[in-house]
Amino acid sequence: MISAGSSPTVVQSVGGRTVDAEQVKAIKTACREFESILIRRMIQQMRDNSISPYRDQVTSNYVDLADDQFSKMIASQGGFGFGDAMARQLVEQIGVAKRVNGSP
């Protein structure tokens, strides 16, 4: 679990290790985008493996755009939790690496 520390530029992770807030923000953004890609691929596979009325090119393009936006919306609202789980693990790994390397 990630909680805000007393300083606005430092975030504390479980175990008392500190990680820069900008790093945490970048990690969360990247993980959310990665989850969006996973969700988008799931939607694409579902559409490809079903009998779909969206077979012409024009309609297919619009459906692809809608699916892309839909997957980003799902991921931005927590999605399936993949992005949050990845972000937590990465933040903890950074904290461990800093402790091993002797950084604060």
One-letter amino acid of 16: G
Query: φ, ψ for residue 52 (rounded to 5)?
Result: -120, 140
Domain count, the chain: 1
Please choose, from the candidates 69, 70, 87, 91, the residue with its C-alpha nearest in 3D space to the C-alpha of residue 32: 87
Q: Which tens digit of pLDDT belongs to each residue from 28-48? A: 999 999 999 999 999 888 887
**pTM value?**
0.67
Q: Distance between CA atoms of 56 and 76, rounded to whole angstroms?
A: 30
Give the domain extent around 36. 3-101
Mean per-residue pLDDT of the chain: 78
